[in-house]
Structure 1
Amino acid sequence: MSQQIDAKNPAVGIQLSVGLSALGADAIQMQQALTQTENTLSLSSDFIAEKKVWVGTCSVDLIDSVSDSLKAIETRNLRFALTALQRIEAELRAYTAQFDSKRLAIIIGTSTSGIADNEPELQRHFQGDQTLQVLQKKQEMDSLAKALQHYLAWEGVAYTISTACSSSAKAFAAGQRLINAGLADAVLVGGVDTLCKLTLNGFDSLESLSNGVCQPCGQQRDGINIGEAAALFLLSKQTAPVMLMSAGESMDAWHISAPHPEGLGAAKAMQTALDLAQLKAQEIGYLNLHGTATPQNDAMEIKAVQQIFQDYAVPLSSTKHKTGHCLGAAGAIEAMICTQILRDQAWLPLHQTTVLDAELDTQNFVDNAQLTHKISYVMSNSFAFGGSNISLIFGTELP
């Protein structure tokens, strides 16, 4: 029987979760993908003209269509979200039946929304077809949360967060705040982002895409791979086998697209998360790096790690060489990885296996997937354009 968490502790229970990505659709597929060296990304020529790029594609069959009431905003992004939701829908409806529908909230992170579905129409429009009507609602950022609210017939707060790569991690923080403020009894949080030409070409124009499979902290790292994911979590104040302990946020606003070179904002986010969870750095059993494989991001993140974990060689790795960078859904799919680690207590995700940058190879990168001892807490980092930083801590017990 679940119990209420002490009011003095900000932790909230993760009652249900689901994650779909290039890692697969269930816990077994996820573990296999993250503990073996086989490539999970795919080479595609669908996104950038005359160029093939590596992407993290989710191969799960999506639902064919949505209900008539959602047709006006139907997109692959929405069908991706509903495909994930339906995997936990029965349990979710059973659990939330105890609460007033006005006390059930939804906070979702995304960066693409339904842009991909409007891209063909926009292309034809710019080629001279003036008869087309581009449906703006499909790509409005709030459409996803509102659609899920309509689907579930919930009546509480529902909104979308779009802060680039920190979007869905911030959804966790916002959901935790709603519960602790007494504004909701349960909150569906997470992130959904789908592959589209806009983001691939945008990162290509920034010269940020890798020519191969990305190499976080690698000597020859040259950029990111883009991926897609849908990951959803139901939070409540009741305890659960795995809990969201805390969320530490910061905003360094150093540059529109580059992080602070010394990792000051990243370090502040990690330390704030530790302080809010009432934990010491030595209690973190694994750290999931933001680890994009861009030269600047990896260098600053390791500097931040050295500041926070200066007396403790925390096991760490990036998982983006397996998922791709899932943008607005990155924080959520990496939260799924972290929570599954705590549930299984048997494995850690391998870091990529190419030669590491000698200046960064001072850390305890995971090179053996087998977990030989119990861990109680894990941390996950998400750092976005504009210096929007967040670190989440998940745990199996209250401190």
Structure 2
Amino acid sequence: MKPLLLSHFTATSCVGRGLDATLDALRHARGGLAPCDFERADLDTWIGAVDDVDAQPVRADLADFECRNNRLAQLGLVQDGFDAGVAAAVARYGAARVGVFVGTSTAGILETERAYQRRDPASGALPADFHYAHTHNPYSPAAFVRAYFALRGPAMAISSACSSGAKVFGSARRMIEAGLIDAAVVGGVDSLCLTTLYGFNSLELLSRRPCRPFDVARDGISIGEAAAFALVERVPDPPATLDGNAILLLGVGESSDAHHMSSPHPEGLGARVAIEQALASAGLGANDIDYVNLHGTATPSNDAAESRAVGALFARTPCSSTKGATGHTLGAAGALEAVVAALALREQFVPAGVNTTQPDPALAADYVLASRDTRVRAALSNSFGFGGTNCSLILGRADHARR
């Protein structure tokens, strides 16, 4: 595939708002998980909530979109000058040539939960101020981002469980390569809600402690929330004019093994196919990858399956899961962790896996326990979802890609 430029990127999660806060937390192995105190959730678990999401309503002209999920999206869009970067892209290409691709798993389902709590006691009717299409509808975060920037290009929501925020990169790439658009806002946003918390609790997947990916004592996930975005564009012509520190999307791999509704293939076959496709599309070998950001959910079966997929291709490549710091942000995870990979490339370091203290010796992984400065020229980011919806992304530095 032809590389794409990540001209701007940003991330907001429980470890902080924007790249500076995120980088500081990653460098110092500081997590943002806390005991669950989410509204009406009586659960013995830990969550990764973003501070003060509800403090700022969505922009007045977008009031129909008012919900926690879109407030979180808006909070993410205004970090790191991202909104200004999109405005500049619109000025270059035109609003009709900039697409929107947003991953989510539940969108604003919290707003529906609250609406049901306010049903008319006599008729059961939902309150008149409830706007399903602009809040709960899975397309609503993509529609919100499109409206926020007054874009007129194609827009879509990707809802493929935990790979959603990674698959948006593949959708944007195909649209750009087809000549339909010149740039795209891609990302993921998912916010805390009772459906998610109690749903994963019913599957007995929630840990009672901060999650410990790839640890010998791992016993489940911690749910988080996040908004992460990138602006992807064609690489300038000639490419030599590109800053060597710029970050490029080099490869995308996707697969669907459909092994089970909620469990990965035990040998990680679908995950391995996605990784191999990403390498092939980037024109790279496994030895060219300097860091792997694992999907690493901290459940016994998921980490074991991913270990088999990674171990079959990589020998001693440093890897870690940042979900120990941020929690599993579900539909936003792929985008958040792509931004983490971009930060590792830009800052030349490998982030530690927070909360993991004793990597499971049965897992084939060179798991990083302490963040360290090192050469990172190309990085792989894995995202694997329910139903075997797998996606792997390869990001690289422009100076390395030219060589």
TM > 0.5: yes
Q: Which residue of 2 aligns with 1:65?
A: 57
Task: Map 1:107-256 onto structure 2 (within 5 A).
Answer: 107-125=101-119, 130-133=124-127, 134-137=130-133, 138-239=135-236, 241-256=246-261
Q: Say if 1:368 and 1:39 are closer, same or farther in 2 by CA, change over 3 A.
A: closer
**Distance change (3 Å), C-alpha of 1:324 and 1:129:** farther
Structure 2 unmatched ranges of 5 or more: 237-241
Cα deviation for residue 68 of structure 1 reads: 4.3
Where does residue 394 of structure 1 map in the other structure?
395
Alpha carbons 2:325, 2:354 under 8 Å: kept:
no
8 A Cα contact 1:288 1:380, kept in partner = yes
Matched, 1:54 2:50: no
Matched, 1:335 2:338: yes
The code of the aligned residue for 1:395 comes to G
Seen in structure 2, the aligned counterparts of structure 1 residues 277 and 126 have a Cα distance that, compared at 3 Å, is: farther
- Is 1:93 the equivalent of 2:87? yes
Bigger mean CA deviation after superposition, 144-153 or 154-163: 144-153
Seq. identity, %: 41
Aligned to 1:304: 309
Q: Give deviations 1:9-47, integer Å, cap 9, x for gaps.
A: 421000111110012123332223223344420112325
Cα offsets for 1:39-72 (capped at 9, x unmatched): 4201123256433320011125566223444222
Is the deviation greater in 219-228 or in 41-50?
41-50
Contact 2:29/2:370 (CA < 8 Å) preserved in 1?
no
Distance 1:28 1:146, change over 3 A: closer
Shift of 1:92: 2.0
Separation (CA, whole Å) in 2 of partners of 1:347 and 1:264: 26
Are 1:324 and 2:324 matched, yes or no?
Answer: no
Counterpart for residue 373 of structure 2: 371
> What are the ranges of 5 or more consecutive residues in structure 1 without an aligned counterpart?
1-8
Task: Name the SS of the counterpart of 2:384 in structure 1.
Answer: strand
1:124 and 1:114 map into 2 onto residues whose CA distance is 16
Change in 2 beyond 3 A, CA 1:214/1:128? farther
Residue 84 (structure 1) aligned to one of 68, 76, 93 = 76
Give yes or no for contact 1:247–1:273 (8 Å, CA) kept in 2: yes
| Shift in CA distance, 132/351, structure 1 to aligned 2, threshold 3 Å | closer
Deviates more, 1:115-124 or 1:176-185: 115-124
Q: What secondary structure sits across from 2:44 in the alignment? A: strand
* SS of equivalent residue, structure 1 residue 276: helix
Which TM-score applies when normalising by structure 1? 0.92
Find 1:280's aligned residue among 285, 290, 299. Answer: 285
- Please state how far the C-alpha of 1:76 moved relative to its aligned partner: 1.3
CA–CA separation in structure 1 for the residues paired with 2:382 and 2:262: 17
- Is the aligned partner of 1:384 residue 2:385? yes
Instruction: Give the C-alpha shift of residue 281 in structure 1.
Output: 0.4
Give the conservation status (yes or no) of the 8 Å contact 1:36–1:350: no
Of the structure 1 ranges 14-23 and 95-104, higher mean CA displacement relative to structure 2 is found in 95-104
1:29 corresponding residue in structure 2: 21
One-letter identity of the residue aligned with 2:293: N
Q: Are the structure 2 counterparts of residues 195 and 61 from structure 1 closer, same or farther at C-alpha, using a change threshold of 3 Å?
A: closer
Structure-2 separation of matches of 1:130 and 1:136: 16
Q: What residue in structure 1 maps to residue 362 of structure 2?
A: 359
Q: RMSD of aligned C-alpha atoms?
A: 1.9
Give the one of 3, 18, 31 matched to 1:11.
Answer: 3
Give the paired residue count. 387
Q: In 1, distance between residues paired with 2:174 and 2:69?
A: 26
Instruction: State the distance in 2 between where 1:54 and 1:175 align.
Output: 34
Amino acid at match of 1:368: A
With over 3 angstroms needed to count, the CA separation of the structure-2 counterparts of 1:370 and 1:105, relative to structure 1, is: same
Give the aligned residue type for 1:246: G
| Structure-to-structure mapping, 1:284-295, within 5 angstroms | 284-295=289-300
Q: CA deviation at 1:122?
A: 1.0
Per the TM alignment, residue 107 of structure 1 is displaced from its structure 2 partner at its CA by 0.5
Question: SS of the residue aligned with 2:372?
Answer: coil
Contact 2:341 2:379 in 1 (8 A): yes
